[in-house]
Amino acid sequence: MKCPKCARTIKFEATSHPACGWNVANGDAKAHKTPCAHTDCPDPAILSRKLSTGWANLCKKHDLFHVQLEANEFCERQGLYTIDQKGWPAARSRSWGLLLRSSRRGFP
C-alpha cells in the first residue's frame, strides 16, 4: 500500500506514516475531493449525473442548474408554457427548490 500523502510504500494495515505526518484520523480528505465538472467552479462534486454529453461530477449548485434545465425541457416538450398549464407541479416544485417558469431562466 502507498501512503496517500507522500506515495511511499507503507504497511497495508498502517494507520499513520510518521515520515510525512499522514494518519487516518486527520486523513487527507482534501486530496480525495472530486472537482466539479464545470471548469470555473471551486466547489467539490457531490454526485455524478448522466448528461447528454456523458457522465459529469457536479457540485450541488451545478446539479440544481442541470435539474432546472431538465425541468424546463420537459415542460416545453409537454407544451406547458404558463404556470396555470403546469398546474400542481409548479406549486409542488417550489417546495423542491425548482422554478418552473414560463420562460427559461439564466444560470445564477
pTM above 0.75, yes or no: no
Q: Scanning the structure block, which residue is given the C-alpha cell 506515495?
A: 7
Does residue 50 share a domain with residue 15?
no
What's the chain's Rg over C-alpha atoms? 22
Give the pLDDT of residue 95: 58
Judgement on whether residues 65 and 13 belong to the same structural domain of the protein: no
Give me the tens of pLDDT residue by residue for the chain, a chain 108 residues long: 777 778 788 777 777 777 777 776 665 555 567 899 999 999 999 999 999 899 999 999 999 999 999 988 988 888 888 777 777 655 566 655 555 554 455 544
* Pair (1, 49) in one structural domain: no
What residues make up the domain containing 27? 1-32
Q: Based on the fold, state whether residues 90 and 59 are members of the same structural domain.
A: yes
Q: Is residue 37 part of a domain?
A: yes
Which pairs from 52-61 meet CB under 8 Å and 24+ separation? 61/108
- H helix intervals, 31-87: 60-77, 83-86
Whether 66 contacts 58, CB under 8 Å = yes
Give the whole-angstrom CA distance, residue 62 versus residue 45. Answer: 9
pLDDT value, residue 62: 95
Q: Of 26, 31, 27, 19, which is closest to residue 10 (Cα–Cα)?
A: 19
- 78 shares a domain with 48: yes
Report the pLDDT value the prediction gives residue 33, as an integer from 0 to 100.
Answer: 79
> Is residue 28 domain-shared with residue 38, that is, in the same domain?
no
* Number of domains within the chain: 2
| Residue 49, H or E segment | strand 47-51
107 in a domain, yes or no? no
